[in-house]
């Protein structure tokens, strides 16, 4: 498609444009609040020590401290700047948990761009606080589209956003929030999120004079995971671990564990692992972490699975909620339920690691939006 070729050409230009990169760096510093800290989780570290007082050291890469509360703003701001450079006047985006929608609406407000956020009806109900934020940031109420379908979630919103974009190619820009879709979309998002891994390398060098031994990130469609993994792909001594959503359990069929339980197929313009039935039809995903609820995954993460460079495991809804409360009570930090899947895997990972192993968990977002859900489900025995 000519629109994708044009997008790729413009993207390649800005990668080497000193003026654009300088403007972006200033915006990330002064508007987003980068660099984000790499925090030593002292009490969480103590929690995982064995009877001999040995265990790994756990650090959190605090993407939750970004403006609007997640890693999504890194990419949303950069792409909005690119769209303006291309002469586009309106942005269309799809969102699941709402974090990408909030980040996009914020970037559009800053850059004076019209903003249309498309979100599934089911997700709007579960993430109503983020819907309110999007409206306050200027996403027009009559354009905050509810996708009316059987599932009404992120996959439906994505399909609708792409349809709206291709109907207005001259003036609109489809601002994808994750590493799925046709080329160059996954590459662009990975590049704009790779600042997470670059900062992690720098901070590890400053803190202990080396690299992380293990990096752990949650995996839905994959933007936060690739954002921190990419910098370390050639460092074979750094383990890269992605944690998918097992939902009610892999055997239940109600999960979003695409790399663990999916098969190769084509969806939204890319070949990757998908959740599909025997006839190749998409199986509705499930996760308590709305941002993980997607039936596909980025093609680069699929490649990392196939080559064995990254490892992929799962955590259930219950395990994620337990991890959410654990971090709240031990560190006073509210992690997003998406992030909580990565934190949950520490229960299985930490007992297997040598004393002093440096583990970095990508804290991809803050969990204020999830507090009511966790409290209601855990304390009413509805999980």
pLDDT digits (tens, 9 = 90+) for 121-137: 888 888 888 888 888 88
The structure's pTM equals 0.93
Enter the tokens of residue 179.
């590493």
Percent of the chain with pLDDT strictly greater than 90? 75
110 cis-preceded (ω within 30 degrees of 0): no
Please check whether residue 110 is in contact with residue 79, taking contact to mean a CB–CB distance below 8 angstroms: no
pLDDT digits (tens, 9 = 90+) for 1-39: 688 999 999 999 999 999 999 999 999 999 999 999 999
How sure is the predictor about 268, in pLDDT bands with cuts at 50, 70 and 90? confident
| Mean pLDDT calculated for residue range 249-259 | 97
Enter the tokens of residue 92.
């269309």
Please check whether residue 131 is in contact with residue 124, taking contact to mean a CB–CB distance below 8 angstroms: yes
CA distance 34 to 45: 25
How sure is the predictor about 146, in pLDDT bands with cuts at 50, 70 and 90? very low
Q: Would the CA dihedral through 311, 315, 336, 178 be positive or negative?
A: positive
Q: Hunting for tokens 């202990």 — which residue is that?
A: 208
Q: SS3 for 112?
A: coil
pLDDT digits (tens, 9 = 90+) for 273-304: 999 998 999 999 999 998 999 999 999 999 99
pLDDT score at 141 = 52
Query: Which position has the higher pLDDT, 193 or 95?
Result: 193
Looking at the DSSP bridge assignments, the partners of residue 282 are 276
How sure is the predictor about 142, in pLDDT bands with cuts at 50, 70 and 90? very low
Enter the tokens of residue 374.
């966790």
- Bridge-based pairing state of the strands 239-247 and 214-218: parallel
Task: For residue 303, report the phi and psi dihedrals to the nearest 5 degrees.
Answer: -65, -40
């Amino acid at each position: 498609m000519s629109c994708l070729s044009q997008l790729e050409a413009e993207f390649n230009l800005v990668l080497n444009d000193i003026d654009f990169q300088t403007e972006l760096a200033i915006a990330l510093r002064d508007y987003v609040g980068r660099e984000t800290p790499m925090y030593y989780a002292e009490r969480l570290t103590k929690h995982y020590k064995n009877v001999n007082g040995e265990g790994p050291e756990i650090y959190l890469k605090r993407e939750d401290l970004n403006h609007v509360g997640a890693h999504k703003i890194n990419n949303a701001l950069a792409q909005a700047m690119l769209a303006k450079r291309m002469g586009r006047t309106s942005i269309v985006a799809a969102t699941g948990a709402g974090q990408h929608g909030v980040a996009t609406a914020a970037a559009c407000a800053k850059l004076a761009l019209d903003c249309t956020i498309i979100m599934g009806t089911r997700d709007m109900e579960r993430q109503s606080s983020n819907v309110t934020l999007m409206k306050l940031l200027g996403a027009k109420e009559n354009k905050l589209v509810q996708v009316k379908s059987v599932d009404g979630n992120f996959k439906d919103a994505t399909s609708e956003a792409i349809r709206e974009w291709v109907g207005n190619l001259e003036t609109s820009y489809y601002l994808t929030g994750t590493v799925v879709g046709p080329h160059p979309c996954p590459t662009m998002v990975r590049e704009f999120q790779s600042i997470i891994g670059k900062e992690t390398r720098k901070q590890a060098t400053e803190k202990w004079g080396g690299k992380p031994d293990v990096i752990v990130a949650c995996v839905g469609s994959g933007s936060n995971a690739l954002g921190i993994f990419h910098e370390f792909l050639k460092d074979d001594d750094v383990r890269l671990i992605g944690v998918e959503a097992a939902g009610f359990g892999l055997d239940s069929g109600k999960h979003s564990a695409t790399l663990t339980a999916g098969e190769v197929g084509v969806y939204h313009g890319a070949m990757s692992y998908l959740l599909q039935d025997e006839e190749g039809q998409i199986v509705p995903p499930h996760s308590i972490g709305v941002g993980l609820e997607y039936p596909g995954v980025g093609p680069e993460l699929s490649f990392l699975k196939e080559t064995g460079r990254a490892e992929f495991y799962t955590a259930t809804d219950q395990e994620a909620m337990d991890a959410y409360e654990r971090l709240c009570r031990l560190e006073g930090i509210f992690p997003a339920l998406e992030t909580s899947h990565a934190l949950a895997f520490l229960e299985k990972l930490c007992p297997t690691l040598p004393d002093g192993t440096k583990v970095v968990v990508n804290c991809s977002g803050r969990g204020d939006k999830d507090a009511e859900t966790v409290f209601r489900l855990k304390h009413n025995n509805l999980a």
